[in-house]
Every structure is written in structure tokens, then in C-alpha cells.
Structure 1
Amino acid sequence: MTGFNDQVIEEFRRTKGKLGGMFEGWELVLLTTTGAKSGRRRTNPLGYLEIDGKTVVVASNMGAPAHPGWYHNIRHDQRVTIETGTESYEAIAAVPPSAERDVLFAKIVAEEPGFAEYQAKTTRVLPVVILHRIDDRVRGMGDFLVEVHEWLREELKTLRVGIDDLVAERADSLVMENSLRAHCVSFCEALAKHHTGEDRGAFPMLAQRFPALAPALTKLGEDHVVVAESQKRIRELVEGYVHGESDPVRLRDDFEALASRLEAHFAYEEETVVTALNVTAPAPDFG
């Protein structure tokens, strides 16, 4: 099969996707994945369909009892390259949840009945994979996530200025303390709401569609627990702050530890999940 695939790949690239022989008239793409074990780039010619505006492929393996190698690869690294014969582009491979998969598979079978025959040959459920083109999208949920992070970063700056003013005694202490408490409450509530939404909504959805993200999502969830503990401590220090009795330097040191942890958390989250979020859902429109 390796030698056969190599011949098909060579002909596909040479003829710009216009294959002859047994593949004449077929709609094929070349899917390049990263080997789950080897880490090497692997290319496979695959039949594809356009269903409801989505490019989909089926991990049929011609009805064999095991999933094809490329499907195992995308479960470890969802980033792929697609060649159509006339262009090459980067994409992200998503595994839809079972209900969505069933709807897609029914539409696939309606267009290509051969996939029903492959399904009948095996007890495994043939996976359907959606190939989302990365550079062909509108403003997505990942972009919205970055915007939320930018707002939170600005709030961190405001809190830092307020705490520095307390340490330096640059203004009326009572005014500063009240202003700092108000900003702290606003920030803490917004951050808690943001993280709760991710833990209950975005992260489970991403874990289901992009299995390769599971380790990163686990780490992000663990970060949320640590951040919540630090956040609680900062809020207690701010709300219990009494001028002339409380230690502003301790408050600043604890806050800087939380701020550094949050900055690292935001950066890691943006690095790992923004692309997947962008291809999964559009950003909310608040009018």
C-alpha cells in the first residue's frame, strides 16, 4: 500500500489532481499529518466530500477492522496540510461528536453509497473528520477569547497601579482603598466567570472535537484551580486592607505572583486553543 500510495501521490502532484485509471473522476485530496509515534510527516490520498459547506473525509480504511494510521495521527496532532492539486493550505482536523457525526455520515452515504458498504464490513463506527481551513474564516471564538484576555490584562494594569499607589502613599488612602476594592471585585468576578465558562463549555467541546488538545486542556483546567486560590487570597487582602495596619508591600508581592501566573496562563491558552476555537464557532455578536 505504501508503494501504491506513493505512485498516486506522485501522479496527483504531477497532474494537479487530475488522476486517471481507477481514480479517474474521483474527488481526492492529499492529507498530510504528523505521525503519532514517529513525528514524521505522512501523506495520504483521500476521497473527500463537501457537506453543508464543510470538507469532510471518512476514516473508512475500506471497512477494515482498524482505523487508518492518518486518523490516529490527527487524534495526536490536529494540524494538517491539504493539497487539492491546484493549491496547498493548512487546516485543522476536527472529530465531530456522535450525533453530529451520524447526521454527516447519512449525508455522505446519500452521495457516496460505497461508504455504507464499508460500514457494513466492520463493527467499528467509521469516523467522520471535518477539515477546517485555517485561513478561510470570519472572526471566531478564539479571537473573542484573545479580546477577553486583553480586557483582563488591562484590568491587571489598573490593579497594579492602584497597589503601587498604596505602597507609595501617592493619594488619599481612603479613596485609593475604595477604588482598589471596586476594581478588584470587578476583575475577580469577570475572571471567575470567564474560567467557569471555559471549564463548563469551551474546554469540554474542544476536548471532544480535538482529542490532541486533551493534555493542554487538562493543564489549563488545573491552572484555573491555582489561579482561583491566588485570586481569593488577593481579594481577601484588598477587602481587608486597613491603612496604617496592613502591609501594602505584602499585598503587592502577592498580587505580582498572581499577575505573573495569569499572564503565563493567558499566553499558553492563546498558543494552544485559539486556532481550534476559531474554526469551531464564530465570535459572539453583541450588536
Structure 2
Amino acid sequence: MTGFNDQVIEEFRQNKGKLGGMFEGWRLILLTTVGAKSGKRWTSPLGCLEIDGKTVVVASNMGAPRNPGWYHNIRHDHRVAVETGTETYEAIAALPSTMERDALFAKVVAEDPGFAEYQAKTTRELPVVILHRIDDRVRGMGDFLVEVHEWLREELKTLRAGVDDLVAGRAESLAMEKSLRAHCVSFCEALTKHHTGEDMGAFPMLAQRFPALAPTLAKLGEDHVVVATLQKRIRELVEGYVHGESDPVSLREDFDALAGKLEAHFAYEERTVVAALNLTAPAYG
């Protein structure tokens, strides 16, 4: 099939997406993925459909027993390139939930009954893939996540300033300790709620739709465990702080360890999952 595909790709590019012969009248795209094993870029001509404003492709492999290579690739790296004949753009390949997949496949078959014939030839369920164009800017959950991080960063700065005041002996000690405890409780509760929401909601959703993110999500989950331990330590130190008895320098060192870990965690999360979150769910409000 490699030689045949090469001919189709060449004709597609020469004629701005228009093909003759057996493909005349078809709507095709060229999908470029990164090989899961080789790391090389591979281009595949695929039939595509526009359904409910979404670009949809089906890993039919013409009803063969196994999924096509390009589908295997997107499960390891969801970043793809799409050529329409008139433009090329970057996209993220997402797998819909089971219910959404079934509804989409029904619409695919309604538009092109040939896919029902492919499904009848094999026992595997034909995967349906949504190609999200990443330059379509819509405010999504990824943007909301960044805003939450910014709020948490500001709270960290406020807490750090309070710890610095304790170390330097500035301000009235009892009032400062009370304010620091209140800020610590507020911050810790917000951080716990944020990470619980990710572990129970956002991360499972991303894992289903973007299998390639599995190692990233596993690392983020491990970070949450480390952060929770540091967070517990800081809260214990702040709540147990006694002026004249506790060591504020030790408190600041532990606090800086938590702040450094959190900042690295926030930065990694923003770098790896924000784009996928934006394309998966709208922001609240």
C-alpha cells in the first residue's frame, strides 16, 4: 500500500486536494502523524467528514482485522498535521467517549454507508477520531486551569511574605501568626480541591480522549502526592508555630521547598495539558 499511498499523496498535492479515478468526488485529507516506534513523520490519505462542526476520521482500514498504523501513532502522540489541499494546519487527535463515539459513528454511516460495510467485515469496533484544529481559540478548561494556578501563585506570595515577616521579626507577632494561619488554611483547602478535581475529573477525561498523555498524567498524579505531603508539613508548621519557641527559618525552608515543587508542577501542567483541556471542555462562567 505504501507505493499506492505515495501516488495518492502526490496527486492530492499537485491538484490541491482534488483526485480522479476511484477517489473522484471523495473528500480526503492528508494526515501526518509521528511514528510511535520510529519517531518519523508519516502521511496517510484519509476520507474525512464534517459532523456537527467537527472534522472526523474513522480508523476503518477498509475493515481489516487491525487498526491502521496512523491510529496506533496518535495513541502515542496526539499532535498531528492536516492537509486539505488548500491549507495545512496543526491539530490534536482526540478519541470521543464511548457514547459520543457511537453517536458520531451513526452520523458517519448516515453520510457514508460504506463505513457500515467496513464495520461488518471486522469484529473490532472501528475507532472514530476527532481532529481539533489548535489555532481555533476558544476559552476552555485549560485557560481556567491557568487562572487557578495564577491565583494559587499569588496566595503563595502572600504566605511567603508572612513567613519572611516572622523571620525578620516584623509586625505584631500574634496578629501575624493569626493572619498566616488563616491564609495557610485558605490556600491548602483551595489547592486540595483543585488537585482532587483534576484527579477525579479532568485527568480521567484527558486519559480517555488522549491516550498519548498517559505518562504525563501519571507524573502529574505523582506530583499531587508529593505536594500533598509537603502541604501537610507546612500546615502543621504554621498551625503549630509558637512565637519565641518555633524556628521561623526552618518554616521558611520547608515553605520554599513546597513553593518550588508547586511552581515546577504548575509549569509542567500548563506546558503539557492546557491545549488538550481547551479542546475538550469549555470553561465555566
TM-score (structure 2 length as normaliser)? 0.99
User: 1:264: which partner in 2?
Assistant: 264
- Partner of 1:147 in structure 2? 147
What is residue 40 of structure 1 aligned with on the other side?
40
Q: Supply the distance in 2 between the matched residues of 1:85 and 1:175 (Cα, whole angstroms).
A: 68
Deviation at 1:261, TM superposition (A): 0.4
- Secondary structure at the aligned position of 1:213 is classed as helix
Q: Per-residue displacement from partner, 1:199-244 (whole Å, max 9, x unpaired)?
A: 0000000000000001110111111111111101100100111100
Letter of the aligned partner of 2:8 in structure 1?
Answer: V
- Cα deviations across residues 178-204 of structure 1 (Å, max 9, x unaligned)? 111111011000000000000000000
Deviation at 1:267, TM superposition (A): 0.7
2:193 is aligned with 1:169: no
Check if 1:244 corresponds to 2:244: yes
Where structure 2 has 5 or more consecutive residues not aligned to the other structure, the ranges are none
C-alpha distance in structure 2 between counterparts of 1:275 and 1:197, whole Å: 18
Match of 1:27 in 2: 27
Spell out the pairing of 1:82-161 with structure 2 (5 A cutoff). Answer: 82-161=82-161
- 2:70 corresponds to which residue? 70
CA deviations on 1:8-44 (whole Å, 9 max, x unpaired) are: 1111111111111111111001100000000000000
Deviates more, 1:31-40 or 1:131-140: 131-140
Return the alpha-carbon distance in structure 2 between the equivalents of residues 156 and 264 of structure 1: 13
Residue aligning to 1:190: 190
Number of aligned positions between the proteins: 285
User: What letter corresponds to residue 167 of structure 2 in structure 1?
Assistant: V
- Give CA-to-partner distance per residue, 1:116-138, whole Å, 9 cap, x none: 00000000000000000101131
Distance 2:42 2:143 in 1: 30
One-letter code aligned to 2:149: H
Unpaired stretches in structure 1, ≥5 consecutive residues: none
- Residue 255 of structure 1 deviates from its aligned partner by 0.3
Give the secondary-structure state (helix, strand or coil) at the position aligned to 2:273: helix
Partner of 1:203: 203
How far is the alpha carbon of 1:69 from its aligned partner? 0.1
Q: Report the residue type matching 1:185 in the other structure.
A: V
Q: Secondary structure at the match of 1:243?
A: coil
Deviations 1:143-171 (A, max 9, x none): 11111101111111111110001000111
* Comparing 4-13 and 60-69, the one that deviates more: 4-13
In 2, distance between residues paired with 1:137 and 1:111?
28
Supply the AA of the counterpart residue of 1:125: E
Q: Counterparts of 2:143 and 2:56 in 1: how far apart (Å)?
A: 24
Normalized against structure 1, the TM-score is what?
0.98
Identical aligned residues as a percent: 84
* 1:13 alignment partner in structure 2: 13
List, as ranges, runs of 4+ consecutive aligned residues in structure 1 with deviation greater than 6 Å.
none
SS of equivalent residue, structure 1 residue 65: coil
Matched residues in 2 for 1:179 and 1:115: separation?
Answer: 64
